[in-house]
Amino acid sequence: MKLCFAKPLALMAKKEVKAIDSSTEERIKLAAHKLFAQKGYAGTKTRDIASEAGINLALLNYYFRSKEKLFELIMREHIQQFFQGMFQVLNDENTSIQQKIETLVSRYVDTLMLKPDIPIFVLSELRNSPMNLAENIQKNMQIKNSYFMKQIKEGISNGTIDNIHPVQLMSNLISLTVFPFIANPILKTIHGIDQEQFNTFMLERKKLIPLWIAEIIKPKTTINK
Amino acid sequence: MKLCFAKPLALMAKKEVKAIDSSTEERIKLAAHKLFAQKGYAGTKTRDIASEAGINLALLNYYFRSKEKLFELIMREHIQQFFQGMFQVLNDENTSIQQKIETLVSRYVDTLMLKPDIPIFVLSELRNSPMNLAENIQKNMQIKNSYFMKQIKEGISNGTIDNIHPVQLMSNLISLTVFPFIANPILKTIHGIDQEQFNTFMLERKKLIPLWIAEIIKPKTTINK
DNA sequence: GCAAACTTTAATCATTTGTTTAAATCTTTT
DNA sequence: AAAAGATTTAAACAAATGATTAAAGTTTGC
């Protein structure tokens, strides 16, 4: 086992932020983003990242110390992004429950149509990684205490929505939206459709999911009471 | 690149099938099952499989030729099992739509509580693997033409269920059931619950999902018509 | 323009990893 | 029990892979 310090990492505090998008560091990150999402951590080789980024292999270690460090960085960004997006929507005090649901579904469908590999990548790596996610998530964990959750609970006691555990509701929302992207290959094979038809299918869902959720949380008029 | 034939593979036609469960071949397959599901193809090392199975490394190649062959074998088994289970339920001509839904959800929840890694493993590997799944799935693809699908279409034209594309309905069913297992780590972190509470949560869902689906497909009485 | 700092390169190292080989052990058949 | 065949073992190989080094190139600050 070797130790590897002393070698100064590229100093982050650049005087001028020169063309960030095409800086070497950024190119490596982009390439890593793409390949990690596509093939997972173990399936991605440092040489693949280097050649995808069009850089020398050594630069990866120069900028990010190690494959693992680079991976964690990227993983954090993904998780951050996911929760940030959700957080913004769920904590808007000026929108109704139904509006929040519509926005959430709409956003995620749009995002995932562009980057369909993200959810399976994140969730797949999450299951083993001893990575301290708690740390990263806890900050954004205010979803449990979000304004949306308050609205739900209020709606339940008002009787304007059916009695449903908020966690169940959230799970339904995310499941219905995200899972089809994860099961994409199977869905396409089972139903004999191509990518374009799949996208149409998801756009249709964008409209339907909020309606379905509305049905689910609509108060049931029980006869025998 | 080397060629590797000539060496005779263990002959399959044994005179006597001696204690299959503890045969070396089966032990390897079990270990591979476990590790592949846990860490994926690239993340699983042949040496890990060997030590998990308590066998000499060379035996893996003796019985299965290569890591890849072993992987494909196991992958096929998983897919086979998934579709077989679904097929049985969906093609039972003696059960109602609602009964099929209940059985399906109930089965998958029970199965996945025991082997929660399977879906993410299969779906994760499926996205890149050039493996010819079509071949494997096509046989079981009769889901599209299953009795369940007939019942749905019939229900729609009868007006006993709401007009919904059967693919959307199936997607909802699988999404609501399977996705929480895939998102398990995030769900637990977000809501601050442990594995036991998660299982309770899923058992609750087992009862709820059929009710939700029922709401979704219930005919809507449109006023302005 | 020059020195210092930063960035990039090619080559190399040390492990890891999938696979093979040849010999040893065990089992079955004769 | 000996021969033939099946199974298992230890050792080794070759390629892949993450990381490092030392030197060359480039930019920056003065």
pLDDT value at B92 more than 70:
yes
Q: Where are the alpha helices (DSSP H) in chain A?
A: 24-43, 46-53, 57-64, 67-90, 97-114, 118-126, 133-140, 147-158, 166-182, 184-191, 195-217
What is the distance between the terminal CA atoms of chain A, rounded to a whole angstrom?
Answer: 71
pLDDT value at B55 more than 90:
yes
CB pairs under 8 A between A and B: 139
Rounded-to-integer distance, Cα B184 and Cα B198, Å: 8
Residue showing tokens 């049985």: B88
Contact A117, A38 (CB under 8 A): yes
Which of A127, A138, A186 is opposite residue B185, by nearest beta carbon? A127
* Banded pLDDT at A195 (limits 50, 70, 90): very high
Rounded-to-integer distance, Cα B101 and Cα B209, Å: 9
Over residues B73-87, mean pLDDT = 89
Q: For the ranges A14-18, A24-28, A182-186, B147-151, which has the lowest average pLDDT?
A: A14-18
Measure, in angstroms, how far nucleotide C17 C1' is from residue A60 CA: 23
Measure, in angstroms, how far nucleotide D1 C1' is from residue B32 CA: 40
* Banded pLDDT at B128 (limits 50, 70, 90): confident
Q: For residue A55, give the nucleotide whose C1' atom is nearest its CA.
A: C8
Best of A137, A173, A215 to disrupt the B interface (most B CBs within 10 Å) is: A215
pLDDT of residue A138: 60
Contacts A128 to B, Cβ<8 Å:
38-39, 43
pLDDT value at B137 more than 80:
no
Q: Name the protein residue, with chain letter, whose CA is nearest the C1' of C17.
A: B45
pLDDT value at B2 more than 80:
no
B84 or B65, greater pLDDT: B65
A135 or B197, greater pLDDT: B197
Rounded-to-integer distance, Cα B187 and Cα B208, Å: 18
pLDDT value at B41 more than 90:
yes
Cβ within 8 Å, pair A124-B128? no
* Banded pLDDT at B136 (limits 50, 70, 90): low
What count of other Cβ atoms lies within 10 Å of the Cβ of residue A111? 16
pLDDT value at A182 more than 80:
yes
pLDDT of residue B19: 46
* Banded pLDDT at B204 (limits 50, 70, 90): very high
pLDDT value at A7 more than 60:
no
pLDDT of residue A191: 83
Q: For residue A54, give the nucleotide whose C1' atom is nearest its CA.
A: C8
B172 or B145, greater pLDDT: B172
Measure, in angstroms, how far nucleotide D17 C1' is from residue A45 CA: 7
pLDDT of residue B190: 83
- Determine the 3-state secondary structure of B107 from DSSP: helix
Measure, in angstroms, how far nucleotide D9 C1' is from residue A48 CA: 37
pLDDT value at B98 more than 90:
yes
Q: Which one of A38-52, A131-145, B8-22 scores highest in mean pLDDT?
A: A38-52
User: CA B71 → CA B31, B32, B45, B130, B160, distances in Å?
Assistant: 11, 8, 12, 13, 45
A47 or A223, greater pLDDT: A47
Nearest Cα to A26, choosing from A45, A5, A54, A7?
A: A54
For residue A4, say whether its CB is under 7 Å from any atom of strand D.
yes
Q: For residue B54, give the nucleotide whose C1' atom is nearest its CA.
A: D8
* Banded pLDDT at A10 (limits 50, 70, 90): very low
pLDDT value at A30 more than 70:
yes
Rounded-to-integer distance, Cα B116 and Cα A43, Å: 22
pLDDT of residue B189: 83
Rounded-to-integer distance, Cα B112 and Cα B104, Å: 12
Which of A178, A208, A218 is opposite residue B168, by nearest beta carbon? A208
Contacts B190 to A, Cβ<8 Å:
137, 141, 143-144
pLDDT of residue B82: 87
CA dihedral (B19, B22, B23, B28) positive or negative? positive
pLDDT of residue B140: 57
User: CA A219 → CA A156, A163, A169, A215, distances in Å?
Assistant: 9, 8, 14, 9
For chain B, what is the total number of helices (H) and then of strands (E)?
11, 0
pLDDT value at B224 more than 60:
no
Q: How far is CA A64 from the centre of its chain?
A: 23
pLDDT value at A136 more than 70:
no
Rounded-to-integer distance, Cα A156 and Cα B115, Å: 35
* Banded pLDDT at A6 (limits 50, 70, 90): very low
Measure, in angstroms, how far nucleotide C8 C1' is from residue A36 CA: 24
Which of B38, B123, B165 is opposite residue A183, by nearest beta carbon? B123
A126 or A190, greater pLDDT: A126
Over residues A166-193, mean pLDDT = 94
Contact A196, A204 (CB under 8 A): no
Rounded-to-integer distance, Cα B88 and Cα B103, Å: 10
| Nearest-CA distance B18 → chain A (Å) | 36
Q: For the ranges A57-71, B30-44, B177-191, which has the lowest average pLDDT?
A: B177-191
Nucleotides on chain C that have an atom closer than 7 A to a protein CB are 5-11, 16-22, 28-29
Rounded-to-integer distance, Cα B63 and Cα B11, Å: 9
pLDDT value at B3 more than 60:
no
CA dihedral (A206, A212, A216, A220) positive or negative? positive
pLDDT of residue A221: 75
Q: What is the secondary structure of A124-175 as a DSSP string?
A: HHHTT----HHHHHHHHGGGTTSHHHHHHHHHHHHTSS----HHHHHHHHHH
pLDDT of residue B129: 74
pLDDT one-digit tens code per residue, A107-130 = 999 999 999 999 999 999 998 876
B5 or B37, greater pLDDT: B37
Cβ within 8 Å, pair B185-A133? yes
pLDDT of residue A79: 87
Cβ within 8 Å, pair A218-B215? yes
Which of A123, A137, A215 is opposite residue B182, by nearest beta carbon? A123
For residue B9, say whether its CB is under 7 Å from any atom of strand D.
no
Q: Is A140 buried (19+), middle (13-18) or exposed (0-12) by CB count in 10 A?
A: middle
